[in-house]
């Protein structure tokens, strides 16, 4: 019997999809999950996602390095925002970093009862697909969206990842969200950057002069790192397996 | 200043969009809103949407004609299901009919605080767009979906209606859902019926041998009737205006 692929367009809808046996792939392309992938790939040992800024503050007071972003802006008094470039620094190697973002960490929070949560981005999409394929589990792609609304970039990722999985006979879908995301990706794949000209969040980042971040977050397969949420922290799957 | 068009893919997300000044267009193509349009066009005076079957039962006991459907099946002990063909009967003329359906009436319930709620379907899409255009109001297209999940046919309608409105300079959108629905409709418009082969709900109806209903619900512009929700009941806009 084939495994299913479903796409959930908003963390607020996740309870309709929740399945403890499934692999949940959380995605927030601009920019939380792209940043988390980058950080772990750069050697960050663990990222601790927290939903609220209060909790982020408490960690900061305890001496942790803390990343905090709201509405695409790094919050004052913290160490990092959610630009992937913040984590391209040899000084982060081996560190634990607490992270709180507008959408991405809220999505991880929504899915926290799932037994397997992986963190996806275009940066690691092929590695992620290759890892998922032999697991024999259903897959739920959870789009962080923008404040619980549908967004285009996370849906494009869902369409791309679903496409890679559905190439295999061992996966199937009857999920309208997944089929629609696939059509969206087909339309956009030759030029994701140009296609997203019309997306609301992309305009939001553009206004903040984050073009370099956008281009980076739309780059395919720069790494094999697969971040997974385990025991309250996000660590590299390779580290978890070798542990 | 231009008016905005937004699309809400699930009644569960409606609170994120709610705006008392906006026109909310509720759509449940298969089949509640297609049936409501048909019923009013056939001369039904008023339809009273109720969310729960208990409430539908109470109306039935009081002697009302009652339509009740769950999971695409007409419920026992009631007078109608939600096939549009149930209402193509001269006997319905002038009648009041209570209606409770899986998704459509729940969507109307979700939006009930809006000052203007219109009922949309492909059957009345052009009349609806022409009526909306001069109103000077923002528009929220509320897709009933399937049990609060995204569905393809309601999203296609959203893309089609948004396209008609956005032809005018007086409308604009930065809503990723609306843009995506527009792309979906562009891809499907030459053959909605064929396109929906892959949609989950269409398969559900197909299994129930409702091909004739599906073809009817995907027909454009068979009527000028615009049902609106007013004082707890759905009546024809023409009747409201002449009142």
Asked whether residue A118 carries a pLDDT value surpassing 80, the answer given is: yes
Q: Does some domain include residue B185?
A: yes
Q: Is A114:A64 a contact under the CB 8 Å cutoff?
A: no
Probe site for chain B from A150, A155, A158, A174 (most B CB atoms < 10 A): A150
Q: Does some domain include residue B240?
A: no
Asked whether residue B205 carries a pLDDT value surpassing 80, the answer given is: no
What confidence tier does A210 reach under pLDDT thresholds 50, 70, 90? confident
What confidence tier does B203 reach under pLDDT thresholds 50, 70, 90? low
Asked whether residue A211 carries a pLDDT value surpassing 90, the answer given is: no
Among the partner-chain residues A16, A151, A183, the one whose CB lies closest to the CB of B149 is A16
Q: Does some domain include residue B243?
A: no
Q: By residue range, what is the domain housing residue B157?
A: 3-234
ipTM of the complex: 0.94
The SS3 of residue B79 is coil
Among the partner-chain residues B10, B174, B200, the one whose CB lies closest to the CB of A174 is B200
How many structural domains is chain B composed of? 1
Using alpha carbons only, give the angle B149, A176, A200 rounded to the nearest 5 degrees.
75
Copy the structure tokens of residue B178. 């609306």
Within 10 Å of residue A151's Cβ, how many Cβ atoms? 27
**CATH for B82:** 3.90.1560.10
Region A189-217 average pLDDT: 81
Q: Does some domain include residue B239?
A: no
Copy the structure tokens of residue B137. 């109001």
Pick from A233, A214, A241, A239: which is nearest to A35 by CA? A214
Q: Does some domain include residue A122?
A: yes
Asked whether residue B81 carries a pLDDT value surpassing 80, the answer given is: yes
Nearest-CA distance from A140 to chain B in Å? 13
Q: Is B47:B99 a contact under the CB 8 Å cutoff?
A: yes
Asked whether residue B243 carries a pLDDT value surpassing 70, the answer given is: no
Give the pairing of strands A233-236 and A227-230: antiparallel
Chain A residues within 8 A (CB-CB) of chain B?
A: 9-10, 12-13, 16, 146-152, 155, 174-177, 179-180, 183-184, 187, 198-201, 203
Pick from B35, B62, B243, B237: which is nearest to B144 by CA? B35
Kindly state the percentage of chain A with pLDDT values over 70. 95
Q: Does some domain include residue A240?
A: no
Please report the pLDDT score of residue A200 as a whole number.
63
What confidence tier does A243 reach under pLDDT thresholds 50, 70, 90? low
Q: Do the chains contact at B152 and A201, CB–CB below 8 Å?
A: no
Please report the pLDDT score of residue B230 as a whole number.
93
Q: What is the pLDDT of residues A18-45, one digit of tens each?
A: 999 999 999 999 999 999 999 999 999 9
- Average pLDDT taken over every residue of chain A: 94
Q: What is the pLDDT of residues B57-67, one digit of tens each?
A: 999 999 999 99
Q: Please confirm whether the linkage preceding B31 is cis (ω < 30° from 0).
A: yes
Using alpha carbons only, give the angle B139, B142, B144 rounded to the nearest 5 degrees.
165
Among the partner-chain residues A148, A184, A200, the one whose CB lies closest to the CB of B174 is A200
Q: Which residue of A has its CA nearest to B151?
A: A176
Asked whether residue B53 carries a pLDDT value surpassing 70, the answer given is: yes
Among the partner-chain residues B13, B146, B183, the one whose CB lies closest to the CB of A148 is B13
Q: What is the pLDDT of residues A153-177, one digit of tens each?
A: 999 999 999 999 999 999 999 899 9
Region B222-240 average pLDDT: 95
Residue reference for tokens 């024999």: A136
Nearest-CA distance from B32 to chain A in Å? 19
List CB contacts (< 8 A) between B206 and chain A: none
Pick from A170, A200, A229: which is nearest to A48 by CA? A229
d(CA B237, CA A45) in angstroms, rounded, equals: 63
Q: Is B144:B13 a contact under the CB 8 Å cutoff?
A: no
Q: Does some domain include residue B49?
A: yes
Please report the pLDDT score of residue A199 as a whole number.
63
Q: Which residue of A has its CA nearest to B17?
A: A149
Please report the pLDDT score of residue A239 as a whole number.
87
Asked whether residue B73 carries a pLDDT value surpassing 80, the answer given is: yes
Please report the pLDDT score of residue B239 as a whole number.
87
Among the partner-chain residues B12, B184, B203, the one whose CB lies closest to the CB of A174 is B203
Q: Is A14:A103 a contact under the CB 8 Å cutoff?
A: no
d(CA B32, CA B7) in angstroms, rounded, equals: 19
- Average pLDDT taken over every residue of chain B: 94
Q: Does some domain include residue B241?
A: no
Residue reference for tokens 């409308």: B171
d(CA A65, CA A27) in angstroms, rounded, equals: 23
Please report the pLDDT score of residue B201 as a whole number.
60
Please report the pLDDT score of residue B41 as a whole number.
98
Nearest-CA distance from B148 to chain A in Å? 8
Asked whether residue A203 carries a pLDDT value surpassing 70, the answer given is: no
Asked whether residue B46 carries a pLDDT value surpassing 70, the answer given is: yes
Query: Distances from the Cα of A36 to the Cαs of A46, A81, A221, in angstroms?
Result: 10, 11, 15
| DSSP output for B220-233 | --S----EEEETTE
């Amino acid at each position: 019997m084939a495994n299913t692929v479903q796409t959930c367009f908003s963390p607020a809808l996740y309870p309709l999809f929740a399945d403890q046996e499934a692999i949940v792939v959380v995605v927030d392309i601009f920019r939380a999950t792209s940043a988390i992938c980058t950080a772990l790939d750069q050697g960050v040992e663990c990222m601790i996602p927290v939903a609220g800024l209060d909790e982020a503050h408490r960690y900061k007071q305890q001496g942790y390095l803390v990343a905090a972003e709201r509405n695409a802006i790094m919050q004052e008094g913290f160490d990092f925002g959610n630009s992937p470039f913040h984590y391209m620094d040899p000084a982060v190697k081996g560190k634990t970093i607490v992270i709180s973002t507008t959408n991405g960490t809220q999505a991880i929070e929504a899915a926290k009862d799932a037994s397997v949560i992986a963190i996806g981005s275009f940066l690691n999409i092929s590695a992620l697909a290759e890892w998922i394929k032999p697991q024999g589990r259903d897959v739920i792609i959870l789009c962080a969206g923008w404040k619980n609304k549908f967004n285009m970039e996370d849906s494009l990722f869902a369409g791309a990842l679903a496409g890679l999985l559905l190439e295999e006979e061992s996966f199937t879908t009857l999920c309208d969200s997944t089929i629609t995301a696939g059509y969206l990706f087909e339309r956009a794949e030759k030029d994701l950057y140009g296609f997203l000209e019309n997306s609301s969040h992309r305009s939001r980042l553009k206004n903040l002069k984050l073009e370099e971040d956008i281009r980076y977050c739309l780059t395919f397969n720069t790494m094999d790192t697969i971040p997974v949420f385990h025991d309250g922290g996000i660590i590299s799957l390779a580290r978890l397996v070798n542990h």
